[in-house]
Amino acid sequence: MSETPKTDKPKKELTKAQMLSKKITEDYMSEAFRAHELGKLIGYTTAISPVEIFVAHDIVPIYPENHAVANLTAKKGIQLCSVTENLGYTSHLCAYARSDLGYRETGITVTKGIPEPDLFLACNAQCFTLTKWFQVLARKGNLPVFVFDTPEYIMNKKAREEIIKYCVLQLKELISFLEEITKKKFDYDRLKEVMKYSAESSILYKRFLDMAQYKPSPISIFDALIGMAIAVYRRGTPECVEYYKTLCDEFQEKADKGIGVLPKDKEKYRLYWENLPVWFKFSDHAKLLGSYGGVILTSLYVHAWSFEFDLNKDPLLTLAENYVSRFSNSTLEDRADMAMDLFKRYSMNGMIMFMNRSCKAVSFAVPTLKDVLVKRTGIPALVFESDMGDQRFYSETQIRTRIEAYFETLDRLQPQVS
């Protein structure tokens, strides 16, 4: 199965990194489908979750979100979501969840599907929606769900210390939960080894994202969205490290040669994107923006996997600190600071704020975040509402018109913002 989103680009020879990504994904899915034969269990988990503990305990992590992305990118959203809505679920729930529940009913998928779960790990640093979705799946087979509860990482030093303690306590509970299910003792030395890979690949992944600092930028958010896949589902493994080394080398070479997503003289607008992408408009958006001299460089979303694990600390402590402080679990003020850091480092001069009906956990902050960022950067924002996976909530004409109008505004302000 290909976990990475497909684009409409003409077929080109694959780069070394792309070939590696393909192989890693194929090996991973092949192992996942044979997990039981290999004496391993399948654990469904959220993209932001301390999966290092799974890896260290030989639980094969599967991310229903990634599978949903593949189907939604291939425009299967309406077909799959409609099936779920006929079961009584409302049309405004997360399109990942709705398409996944539709897949469970019909078996329809553009991939080979994903193996059935043995257990679930839901981490609400990403969202509580996934917990609810996993509970629906767990009820189908009466399977255990472990909720790793990460309270909002509020701006209070002492409270943060308490939050971390609570999270470490829960990670110990998670380990006991896994030991009980697998009847196997958890190996902390193995965890340390997994953490080394995870820490190294995270640094490399961040280096890859930071290629957006170059002018012209050799990387757009679309490269980042494709490039993040391995960080999501293979962190904690040596192959993940190898992949990001290769990827960084390739993009560094582009940067060194001055090869940008757009040529240097055409790169007018270096844009920030808030939220997940509109998966089924992935390549259309890149083309449309490119025609105006715009390139979206980054989002907080793609940075969610640039962890900074401290290998000198207890592994559970550094895991807790990193997972609880993801952008999606941070206060609005901290999210604004994180975005501001990217604005400065990547010299961005425009922002597209996507109100994603599917992702309430990210989107409900957007109107306020937009106000804060506009005030702090002095850059106007384009706000549009749609859905990351359900085409029924996407109005082509309206969004195209808004994008055009936004670039006209930026053109007018060009002397001020450049």
Partner 1 sequence: MWDNLSLKEVVEYTKDPFPSIRKWAKEKGKKVVGSTIADVPEEVIYAFGLLPVTLVGTDKPLKKAPSRLPDNACSLARSNLELVLSYEGDLFDGFVLPQVCDTTQHLSDIWRISFPDKYVECFLAPRQVDRPSARYWVKEEIERLIESMGKWTGKNITDNDLKRAISLYNENKRLLREIYDIKKKNPETITNKEFFSLVKLSMQVDKEEFNKSLKKIKESMAPKKGDGYLDIILAGITCDPPEVYDLFDEIKLNIVADTLVTGSRYLDGVVPEDGNPIDALADRHMNRKFFSPIHDNVYRNFEEIKALYKENNAKAVIYIHIEFCESQEYDLPDLKKMIRKEGIPMHVLDTEYQTLSLSHLRTRLQAFFESLKGGSL
Residues contributing to the site for partner 1 (CB under 8 A): 87-90, 92-93, 97, 124, 127-129, 131-133, 135-136, 139, 147, 149, 151-152, 154, 158-159, 162-163, 165-166, 169-170, 173, 331-333, 355, 357, 360-361, 363-365, 367-368, 372, 385
d(C-alpha 115, C-alpha 62), whole Å: 8
DSSP element (H, E) containing 296: strand 294-298
Question: Shortest CA distance to 358 belongs to which of 3, 46, 65?
Answer: 65
Question: Shortest CA distance to 20 belongs to which of 190, 201, 198?
Answer: 201
Q: Which is nearer to partner 1, 136 or 417 (CB)?
A: 136
CA atoms within 13 A on the CB side of 328: 27
Give the shortest CB-284-to-partner 1 separation in angstroms.
Answer: 24
Give the shortest CB-210-to-partner 1 separation in angstroms.
Answer: 28
Give the shortest CB-11-to-partner 1 separation in angstroms.
Answer: 39
- Using the CB atoms, write b or e for 40-79: b if 16+ within 10 Å: bbbbbbbbbbbbbbbbbbbbbbbbbbbbbbbbbbbebbbe
For residues 325 and 304, is the Cβ–Cβ distance under 8 A?
Answer: no
Give the shortest CB-91-to-partner 1 separation in angstroms.
Answer: 10
Residue 172, amino acid? K
d(C-alpha 158, C-alpha 414), whole Å: 45
Give the shortest CB-164-to-partner 1 separation in angstroms.
Answer: 11
Q: Which is nearer to partner 1, 297 or 351 (CB)?
A: 351
**End-to-end alpha carbon distance in the chain:** 43
Q: Which is nearer to partner 1, 169 or 405 (CB)?
A: 169
Task: Say if residue 216 is preceded by a cis peptide, omega within 30 of 0.
Answer: yes
Q: Which is nearer to partner 1, 127 or 289 (CB)?
A: 127
For residues 99 and 76, is the Cβ–Cβ distance under 8 A?
Answer: yes
Q: Which is nearer to partner 1, 129 or 377 (CB)?
A: 129
Give the shortest CB-330-to-partner 1 separation in angstroms.
Answer: 9
Give the shortest CB-99-to-partner 1 separation in angstroms.
Answer: 15
Give the shortest CB-281-to-partner 1 separation in angstroms.
Answer: 20
d(C-alpha 202, C-alpha 311), whole Å: 12
Question: Shortest CA distance to 377 belongs to which of 272, 305, 290?
Answer: 272
Give the shortest CB-97-to-partner 1 separation in angstroms.
Answer: 8
Residue 404, amino acid? E
Q: How many CB atoms lie within 10 A of CB 238?
A: 14
Strand runs (DSSP E) across 96-253, as ranges?
A: 119-123, 145-148
Q: Look at the block and give the residue holding tokens 């939050």.
A: 163
Give the shortest CB-173-to-partner 1 separation in angstroms.
Answer: 5
Q: Which is nearer to partner 1, 201 or 299 (CB)?
A: 299
For residues 240 and 24, is the Cβ–Cβ distance under 8 A?
Answer: yes
Q: Which is nearer to partner 1, 104 or 207 (CB)?
A: 104
Q: Which is nearer to partner 1, 372 or 417 (CB)?
A: 372
Q: Which is nearer to partner 1, 33 or 177 (CB)?
A: 177
Question: Shortest CA distance to 182 belongs to which of 29, 28, 43, 30?
Answer: 43
Q: Which is nearer to partner 1, 332 or 340 (CB)?
A: 332
Beta strand 119-123 pairing with 59-62: unpaired
